[in-house]
Chains A and B, each alone.
Chain A
Amino acid sequence: MKNNTKKIDKYYALKHEYSGRTVVTIFGIMLILITLTMVFFLISKGSATFFQNHISLKEFLFSTEWMPGKDEAQGGPAVGALIFIIGSILISGFALLISTPFSVALAIFMTQISPAFGKKLLQPVIEIFVGIPSVVYGWIGLSVLVPFVRHQFGGLGFSLLAGSLVLSVMIFPTITSVAADALSIIPNDYKEASYALGATRWHTIRRIIFPTALPGILTGVVLGLARAFGEALAVQMVIGNTIRIPGTILDSTVNLTSIITMDMGNTAMGTTWNNALWSMALLLLIISFIFIFIIHRIGRKGSASS
């Protein structure tokens, strides 16, 4: 009898515990494998520029000469990517400058000042923004923002400004929702203690709530920056893709993702040109690793201080 119960238990455990666990483990391992193979693939493709085509890392990172189609007789293909790197940094930097104040203010409003309104109306609106495909942002940017910039500020319209504006709209939901999460988990005790000391609501937000939630808010900002760095389509449609470092915010320019999407299909695999594009993709991956690393650092610091 005793033996039988034990047997049933074993089957029960097999059916209910191990089967589920196996499935989940398989999926988990598969995901890790996919990630690893992709990283490996990018590294092997991206490093070909340096090992097969013998372009120095210094030239790739710090040269502004982009002449990948030039004959070897005339000095070989030149694949300096500095213009694209600077373009990417400028566009996402400006996008962040525009987006961060709005996003953080919105997060404070919807968690501290008017939570009911925030939950019922703002939250769904922000979620809708997340779901809009980037080609739609690009198309709206091209049809509305580019002519707007042209008429209001002059120039051609295709500009760093237009690209940054489109991106700032695209990253604000990311920053807002992460910041809002960080703000809403602050214990009520903090607020009540502050009120008990006679602080006003604004004073409480500024001196107590905001500093406490700062690590979370910064995580949102870095996530937004990562999104901005990797966005290709919407930006490419509005920045004009002129291969130069922009002199003013109204100049057209180019970034890493644009040059990759524009040239990838038209260049033959194995050529220096194509390899250089892979190196740029690898660079984007490394940059996003750095962002993730920063986020983890912020998270650790945040949990250590509280």
Chain B
Amino acid sequence: MTKFKPLLIALVLVLSLSVALVGCSSNTAQPTPAPAANSLTGSATAVGSSALQPLAEKAAEMFMAKNKDARVQVQGGGSGTGLTQVAQGGCDIGNSDVFAAEKLPADQAGTLVDHKVCVVGFATVVNPEVKVDNLTGQQLIDIFTGKIKNWKEVGGQDLSIVILNRPASSGTRATFKKYALNGAEEAAGQALTEESSGAIKKALTDTKGSISYLALSYVDSAVKTLKYDGVEPTVANITSGKYPIWSYEHMYTKGEAKGVAKAFIEYMMSSDFTSTITQMGYIPNSDMKVSRDK
């Protein structure tokens, strides 16, 4: 017996390693299709956008309370990760703040099916000491492209403007650039960049004269929101189409959704979940009176 001990240990090691590996990969495995319509079994993984993550996690929790045998796992990682993973079959649902075609090469984006689960609005936010309440689209562009450098040029006090940006790859930044700045390229090498919306909020409250943008779900009394062309960034103005800075939150599946993934996405878009969407600062599709397709 002793003779085999090293072999045995090696065997145990290899076995435990392979179990660990299998354990990891099973999270991302395709869901087993539900055997019967009534009892939903299997699992689905949703990966991607950190902006959608809190809502998706809440939805998963409520979904699993209803369907005891189904498992939905939600992970962050960023929109790019979500889209790459779902296109490569690494997860069932890829969460994204932007349309897949904006991140992925056309051949990969074409294989994905888009599910717009809700809408999220964005506000221009400034440090509370800034004495400006409204900016026109052109003023906003001039600020972010570095033409306007002081708040007094737009009717505020004599204070230099500090731009706080999200990284160039961020979905929030892409949305803001597209709808608020009309696609204008920001001046290089002027803005501070913070990795997350939370960090933006902290830097914004600490830095005098700072300006940035946040999803409405992050906005609270610590920051001051600005009107855009005289329109308040409120849910009512977004749904009626008066306020343009908003985007869809997408859940992408490779091909048509199946099994648990399908049920989960349907649940998120169902009327059962609408009140939770509103509660968490997002806007349900059903409220929208306007729509976009790119």
Contact = CB atoms under 8 A, between A and B. Distances in A.
Q: Is B one of A's binding partners?
A: yes
Interface of A: 11, 14-15, 18-19, 22-23, 26, 66, 68-69, 142, 146-147, 156-158, 236-237, 240-244, 252, 254, 259, 261-271, 273-274
B123 to A, nearest CB: 21
Contact of B192 (A11, A22, A147, A252): A252
A18 B6 contact: yes
Given A14-B3, A244-B189, A267-B103, A22 B195 contact: no
Interface in B196-238: 199, 202-203, 206-207
Interface stretch (B129-137, B168-176, B253-261): B168-176
12 contacts: A15-B5, A26-B13, A156-B207, A241-B167, A242-B193, A262-B193, A264-B78, A266-B169, A267-B78, A268-B84, A269-B80, A270-B84
A265 B78 CA distance: 5
Interface residues of B, number: 40
Given A14-B3, A157-B207, A241-B195, 18 more contacts: A11-B3, A14-B5, A22-B9, A23-B9, A26-B10, A26-B13, A156-B162, A242-B191, A243-B193, A259-B167, A263-B168, A265-B80, A265-B81, A267-B80, A267-B169, A268-B87, A268-B103, A271-B104
Contacts of B13: 26
Given A244-B189, A265-B80, A268-B104, A19 B6 contact: yes
B212 to A, nearest CB: 13
Interface in B152-192: 162, 167-171, 188-192
Nearest to A83: B189
B78 A266 contact: yes
B195 A261 contact: yes
Contacts of B88: 269
Contacts of A263: 167-169
B23 interface: no
Contacts of B162: 156
Contacts of A158: 192, 203
Contacts of B35: none
B2 interface: yes
Interface string B89-126: 00000000000000111001000000000000000000
A265 B81 CA distance: 5
B19 to A, nearest CB: 16
A221 to B, nearest CB: 30
Given A19-B9, A262-B193, A267-B80, A14 B2 contact: yes
Given A19-B6, A69-B169, A241 B193 contact: yes
Contacts of A252: 192
